[in-house]
Each structure stands twice: as C-alpha cells, then as structure tokens.
Structure 1
Amino acid sequence: MSASEAKVLSIGPLPENEAAWIKLSKVTYRDPNGQTRTWESAERRTRPTTSDVDGVGIVALLHTPAGPEIILQKQYRPPIDRISIEVPAGLIDAGETAEQAAVRELREETGYVGVVTETSPIMFNDPGFCNTNLRMIHVSIDPSLPENQNPQPQLEENEFIEVFTAPLATLWDECKKLEAEGYAIDARVGTLAEGVEFAKTLKL
C-alpha cells in the first residue's frame, strides 16, 4: 500500500480522557486596554520538563559536486488528509538537547548521519492557535562517509516516510511543482524556499 492510498475514514470529537498528545485550554487574559478576554488554545502534552521546546525541525544539507541538496520527505498527515512535503523533524526525548534530538531523528527517519552546524532561536509554529514550538537545527551531511553510502531509515511501525532530495538553489520551483502535483507544502519547507528565493532576488 502506498501513501497515496491513505485517507481519513471519519472525524469526531476527541474526549479528554483519550487525548494522549494534545490538550485544549481556555485561556483568560487581560488585553492591552485592560479588558478581560478568553482565548482557545491547544498544547502538546509531551514536552520534557528539562526542555524549552517540543521538538526540532532539521535542515539537512547533502553536499554534492553539483551543489547542496536538502533532505525532504513525503508523509501522509491525517489532519489535512494529504501527503505533506516536510523536512525531517521530531519530538525531543527526556534528557536530550535539541541538537541530540536532531541527529537521532535524522538517522531514524532518513538513515543519514550528519554534523550539527547551527541552531535557530526558538520558533513558534502557530502562536494564534497553540503554544507548540521548536528549534530548527542545521545539519551537514558528507555523502562520502561510509555510513552515508546506503542510508537505511529506522522507522517505527506507524511511520510511513518517503525520503528524497532537492537542490537547495531551486527549492522554490520544486515546491511549486510538488503543489501542482497535489502535495501539501509544510510551512517550514515553504518558508525556507522563499528565503532562498529572496536571497537570490535581492542579491543578499
């Protein structure tokens, strides 16, 4: 069975006692004019007490003679009932740093082994909706190393991920092409592609 055959079968309310990953909250706050208001919010239940973020996104660059290629993945996502184009990513385990989580998740999801070169500030995915956050970790991959000759993902039973690469220089065009083919573009991929395009257009 391929990812294209996955589909949502039903949607219904999620009882509080069945929610393993998220919780909904009603936030009461004071606005800048001193008026009391409420806000509906979601948050993850999984953030380790030792961590300031929920997870990591990984900008993994494969250095080839033709130029850097970014490691991407195709993964079916039930909330949107589509296959999404994403960077490797994952939640932080207890006792891990963001950098350690990135190296582990990259190897588990793609098979590649890399070296961390940069860590972003904390980023909030959708602050008008939830408090979920992450750090983007930049990882450099040397394809000449023996461990990267034939990378084998170590996926969990419920993970269905197809790994592929795209030239970083033309990532914007690749996103447009993939969207036209019916794929959903994750905001982290799209924003990175847009940044590359801005840099080229403005000659930064």
Structure 2
Amino acid sequence: MSKLSPYNARHVLVENLDQGKWIQTRKINYQDPTGSDRVWEMAVRTTRTATTNVDAVSIVSVLHHPDRPKEIVLVKQYRPPTQKVVLELPAGLIDPKELIESTAERELLEETGYHGKFARQSIVTYSDPGLTNANMVLAYVDVDLSDVHNKLPQPQLEDGEFIETFTLPLNNLLAELEAVIQREGCTVDARLYHFAVGLDLAKQL
C-alpha cells in the first residue's frame, strides 16, 4: 500500500467553529404546523454560487468494455468527519461562474483521469436535509474507452487530495461494495450505497 494512501490519514485536532472557510453554522427560529416556535441548528456551505444555485455535482460514469461486463468508476478518500476512508462516486463543488456540465467533466478528469462527455443530469437533491441545505445534482458522464486519453487515465489531483480511483462491476455492485468494506475496513457514502441497493432491487422486481 502506498505511503500516500488515504488509509494513512488520522485525526489530530478537532475544533468547534461558528464560521469556517467552507462551512457556517446557523440557528433557525421557525414555527411548526401547530404554530409553536421552534429552533433548528444547521450547517451551510459558504461556496454556493449564484450561477447554478447548486453546491456540488456527483458523477455516474459507466465503462462499456468490449470484452467484459460494464464497470462503474468510483473513488476512495479519507473523510475526517467519519475518521474512515469512504467509497464514493466522483464528485466536487461547483466553482464560481461554472456550469454543472463543465463541473462534472472537470471533476471526473481531476479525480479519476477519465476524459468524459456530459450526457444528462438529475433534479436538484439534498444530501442531508436534517443537518444542512447543501444540495447537489447527479450527473451522467459518458466515457469513450476508444479515446486515447482513456487508455491509461491519470488523475489530476489538487494539492492535499489523496484519492484512489477504482472500478466495480455494475451488475453486482451492492455485493462488491460490501466485500470491499469488509476487506478494507472502510465505509461507503450513503448515496452510492442507495444507488447500489436500487440496482439490486431492480433485478428482483
């Protein structure tokens, strides 16, 4: 295992912040359906832009191999709040004045090295609505494996990013994810796991 593996990351210090570089905490005073006054605490991303009014893009890219089953492109990275390496779909924040389409293509290239073409997107969804107003779209990005750039994809990670790219067979994604989790002691992003459960459920209907 490489010395730069995300599994080498560890917690050092945890600080409570009201206003950080990326996140702000807020208190909401609201009324419930009975008219009673209530209070809710929430976290807000400080990076949302007016161009899209969307925080982030999560990316589905399926590799269509000519001689073996389809595979989905995934990533592993250490997520400090979980104190674990997390299996995820490639994803990233939308930069100022950037569109969803270009964000999806850029993030796929940066995190995985694959050159792709934006195909379509989901509606805007909320990742954890009990905690934050952070939202995102699911973008489908096509990858042409005949493209010379995709023969030996090389991620273009930013400073401080330690992300591993891997693929799993799409037709058995749920079982494959659970096998990786058991083998490596990592965990999985809920959105990816729910995506896998949906695929598995569809096979049973």
- What is the letter of the counterpart of residue 174 of structure 1? E
Name the counterpart of 1:5. 8
Name the counterpart of 1:47. 48
Task: Note the residue ranges of structure 2 that are not aligned, 5 or more in a row.
Answer: none
Question: How many pairs does the alignment contain?
Answer: 200
TM-score, length of structure 1 as denominator length: 0.94
Name the counterpart of 1:162. 164
Question: CA RMSD for the aligned pairs?
Answer: 1.1
Task: Note the residue ranges of structure 1 that are not aligned, 5 or more in a row.
Answer: none
Name the counterpart of 1:106. 108
8 A contact 1:106–1:113 mirrored in 2: yes
8 A contact 1:63–1:140 mirrored in 2: no
Offset at residue 5 of structure 1 (A): 1.6
1:142-153 paired onto structure 2 within 5 Å:
142-153=144-155
8 A contact 2:18–2:24 mirrored in 1: no
1:66-77 paired onto structure 2 within 5 Å:
66-77=68-79
2:180 aligned to 178, 181, 203, which one?
Answer: 178
In 2, Cα distance between the equivalents of 1:196 and 1:82? 25
In 2, Cα distance between the equivalents of 1:12 and 1:94? 28
The secondary structure found in structure 2 opposite 1:67 is coil
8 A contact 1:90–1:105 mirrored in 2: yes
In 2, Cα distance between the equivalents of 1:115 and 1:134? 19
Distance 1:168 1:191, change over 3 A: same
In 2, Cα distance between the equivalents of 1:180 and 1:70? 19
- What is the letter of the counterpart of residue 129 of structure 1? L
Offset at residue 118 of structure 1 (A): 2.0
Name the counterpart of 1:37. 38
In 2, Cα distance between the equivalents of 1:102 and 1:176? 26
In 2, Cα distance between the equivalents of 1:166 and 1:91? 24
Offset at residue 15 of structure 1 (A): 5.2
Residue identity over aligned pairs, in percent, reads 44
- What is the letter of the counterpart of residue 8 of structure 1? H
Q: Deviations over 1:107-155 (max 9, x none)?
A: 1111101122220000100001100000000111111111111111111
TM-score, length of structure 2 as denominator length: 0.94
Q: Deviations over 1:80-110 (max 9, x none)?
A: 1110001110000111111110001101111
Q: Which runs of 4+ in 1 moved over 6 A?
A: none
In 2, Cα distance between the equivalents of 1:93 and 1:35? 39
